[in-house]
């Protein structure tokens, strides 16, 4: 019972924490992201399209972005590399703040503390030799380190000039990873997205809201991995309840018979069973919630988190943020405590109303 | 006074346990019901205790028609008047000695002092003081029985009913039980013992030995 509450609560907590995480993350996401497609695959897009996009009424910003994942084989770690231009303003406030404080030249970069630590462990104290996509080496100086986990929600982050990032990923000079578009009036996002689709028929246009809905659908308890755990837990729980409600064991029956025989009225027996059910279910509820809290928010939900993230194809790591969710706590309470008490009392009542002699036989 | 008038007891499946039993027991009397297993001895005890009701006939205790009482009242009658010692002791194995002994007093909400003094009295009387906190499943047969007697006695019942009390005891422990019964008799309790143990039949303290056979008194 305790384990079931803990499992269900862990899943609820994890799901809520992920929702909160991605809601926060998505706040820094542009309203529209445009990539090109070739043979149904997303590919690089021409940054010169920015001027066409800016000509659409309602578009307040069109930003060509360069970023990618760099695999550092020695440490078996993937760095997220972001290319920036000091004259540009980014939808991500943390990135803007970072760039305001630092100026980057062509061969320098800013790295997160986690990246700096890994590089240092591999004897790269002041610079790093990137292996470009074409096999050549690119030496980039570490200009500064920054704290990334709380503000960027990405642990292994490298920020460098766009031209350097393009060189490392071997992008053609006019091509970028995608174009981020900001819309002045949030209600016009869908309309403008349709305009962009008409303007660029080969482009893939992603809307922030769609992304949010997609995340929510994947994380939400109505679908996917969560639903599987939810159904399994509930099935097990109801088997326990059914087992309890379908009748007392011979030992329990005998106990009720003994109590009647020594002068306990039916109401006395039901009172005792009420307290028994209350103590067991309430303890299971409280202990289950505490276990789930420790497991998810203190230990970071080992195993379940990675299974969950893999199952919903959100492979990048994230921090589990705590928020008291009264709905979840109330739902778990009503599922565990009153139901269990009822399942304890009903069969006892049905037995206790028989003659003591008959019950003990 | 306990009186059974033309009592017939039939169990499910048509098994007749008692057939036209008439019996009168006086206050303070120690009566032994003898007979083989299935003869109907336990059914008589069960009817006197109000644990079951006769199919026909009447059970009257101190002018009260026990057989007509509703479940709620027959439980109260049992609480106030009856101390039952079961053949298999019927202790609750997951509770300690003191918890088992105090069990009949739980619904009465007596003050803690009163509970403690009654418990202490029973523990001393039945020589199980040292086992006070031991789980009853860890007790020997004799200790379990003394615990069961202490439980039956804690309400100061007027009537003590014992069903095959020595069935699971060796001779030494059976004699110890007889000693305890003698003490209870000296307190003017009415005692009915259902047994087929010959140890009881020639005891000086036994007022009457009644033979039960095929649901009838001989």
Confidence at residue A92, expressed as pLDDT on a 0 to 100 scale: 74
pLDDT > 60? residue A316: no
pLDDT > 90? residue A9: no
Q: What is the mean pLDDT of residues B74-99?
A: 90
Under an 8 A CB cutoff, do B107 and A360 touch?
A: no
Tokens for A56, please give them.
Answer: 């659409």
Q: Does B106 touch chain A (CB under 8 A)?
A: yes
| Strand segments (E) across chain B | 2-11, 15-25, 30-34, 56-61, 64-65, 82-85, 159-163, 190-195, 208-213, 216-217
Mind telling me how many Å the CA of B154 is from chain A's nearest CA? 11
Helix (H, G, I), strand (E, B) or coil at A34: strand
Average pLDDT, chain B: 90
ipTM of the complex: 0.88
In A, which residues are within 8 Å of B86 by CB distance? 261
**A interface with B, Cβ–Cβ below 8 Å:** 254-255, 257-266, 268, 272, 353, 355-358, 360
Confidence at residue B82, expressed as pLDDT on a 0 to 100 scale: 92
**Cα dihedral B107→B108→B111→B116 (10° resolution):** -70
Q: How confident is the model at residue A315 (pLDDT cuts 50, 70, 90)?
A: very low
Q: What is the mean pLDDT of residues B191-208?
A: 89
pLDDT > 90? residue A242: no
Under an 8 A CB cutoff, do B71 and A266 touch?
A: yes
- Residue of B100, B107, B136 for testing the chain A interface, max A β-carbons within 10 Å: B107
- Residue of A357, A358, A359 for testing the chain B interface, max B β-carbons within 10 Å: A357
CA gyration radius, chain A: 29
In B, which residues are within 8 Å of A268 by CB distance? 106-107
Q: Using CA of residue B138, residue B143, residue B145, residue B151, what is the dihedral sign?
A: negative
Under an 8 A CB cutoff, do B71 and A355 touch?
A: yes
* Closest CA in chain B for residue A360: B90
Mind telling me how many Å the CA of A236 is from chain B's nearest CA? 27
Q: What is the mean pLDDT of residues A100-126?
A: 86
Confidence at residue A149, expressed as pLDDT on a 0 to 100 scale: 59
Of B84, B90, B107, the CB nearest to A264: B107
pLDDT > 70? residue A220: no
- Residue of B50, B75, B76, B82 for testing the chain A interface, max A β-carbons within 10 Å: B75
């Amino acid at each position: 019972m305790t384990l079931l509450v803990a499992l269900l609560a862990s899943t609820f907590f994890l799901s809520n924490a992920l929702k909160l995480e991605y809601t926060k993350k998505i706040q820094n996401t542009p309203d529209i992201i445009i990539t090109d497609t070739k043979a149904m695959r997303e590919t690089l897009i021409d940054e010169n399209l920015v001027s066409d996009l800016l000509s659409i009424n309602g578009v307040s910003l069109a930003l060509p972005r360069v970023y990618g994942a760099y695999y550092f084989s020695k440490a078996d770690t993937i760095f997220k590399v972001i290319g920036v231009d000091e004259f540009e303003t980014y939808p991500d406030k943390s990135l803007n703040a970072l760039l305001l404080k630092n100026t980057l030249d062509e061969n320098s970069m800013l790295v997160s503390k986690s990246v700096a630590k890994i590089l240092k462990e591999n004897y790269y104290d002041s610079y790093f030799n990137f292996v470009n996509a074409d096999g050549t080496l690119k030496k980039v100086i570490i200009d500064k380190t920054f704290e990334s986990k709380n503000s960027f929600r990405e642990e292994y982050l490298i920020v460098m000039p766009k031209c350097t990032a393009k060189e490392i990923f071997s992008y053609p000079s006019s091509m970028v990873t995608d174009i981020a578009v900001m819309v002045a009036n949030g209600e016009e996002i869908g309309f403008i997205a349709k305009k962009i689709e008409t303007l660029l028929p080969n482009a893939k246009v992603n809307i922030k809201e769609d992304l949010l809905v997609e995340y929510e659908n994947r994380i939400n308890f109505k679908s996917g991995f969560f639903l599987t755990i939810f159904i399994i837990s509930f099935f097990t729980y109801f088997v326990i309840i059914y087992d309890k409600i379908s009748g007392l064991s011979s030992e329990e029956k005998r106990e009720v018979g003994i109590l009647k025989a020594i002068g306990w009225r039916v109401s006395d027996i039901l009172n005792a069973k009420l307290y028994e059910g209350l103590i067991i279910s309430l303890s299971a509820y409280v202990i289950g919630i505490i276990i789930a809290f420790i497991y998810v928010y203190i230990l970071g939900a080992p195993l379940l988190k990675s299974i969950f993230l893999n199952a919903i194809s959100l492979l990048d790591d994230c921090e589990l943020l705590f928020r008291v969710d009264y709905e979840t706590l109330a739902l778990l309470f009503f599922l565990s405590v009153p139901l269990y008490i009822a399942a304890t009392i009903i069969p006892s009542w049905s037995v206790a109303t028989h003659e003591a002699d008959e019950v003990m036989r | 006074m306990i009186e059974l008038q033309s009592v017939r007891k039939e169990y499910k499946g048509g098994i007749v346990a008692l057939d036209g039993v008439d019996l009168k027991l006086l206050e303070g009397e120690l009566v032994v019901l003898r007979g083989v297993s299935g003869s109907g001895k336990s059914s008589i005890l069960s009817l006197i205790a109000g644990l079951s009701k006769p199919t026909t006939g009447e059970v009257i205790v101190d002018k009260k028609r026990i057989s007509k009482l509703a479940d709620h009242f027959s439980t109260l009658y049992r609480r106030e008047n009856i101390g039952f010692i079961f053949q298999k002791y019927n202790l609750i194995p997951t509770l300690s000695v003191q918890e088992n002994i105090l069990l009949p007093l739980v619904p009465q909400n007596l003050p803690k002092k009163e509970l403690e003094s009654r418990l202490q009295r029973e523990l001393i009387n039945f020589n199980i003081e040292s086992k006070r906190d031991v789980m009853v499943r860890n007790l020997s047969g004799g200790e379990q029985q003394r615990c069961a007697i202490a439980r039956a006695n804690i309400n100061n019942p007027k009537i003590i009913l014992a069903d095959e009390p020595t069935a699971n005891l060796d001779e030494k422990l059976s004699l110890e039980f007889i000693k305890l019964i003698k003490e209870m008799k000296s307190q003017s309790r009415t005692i009915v013992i259902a047994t087929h143990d010959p140890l009881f039949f020639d005891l000086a303290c036994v007022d009457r030995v009644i033979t039960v056979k095929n649901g009838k008194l001989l």
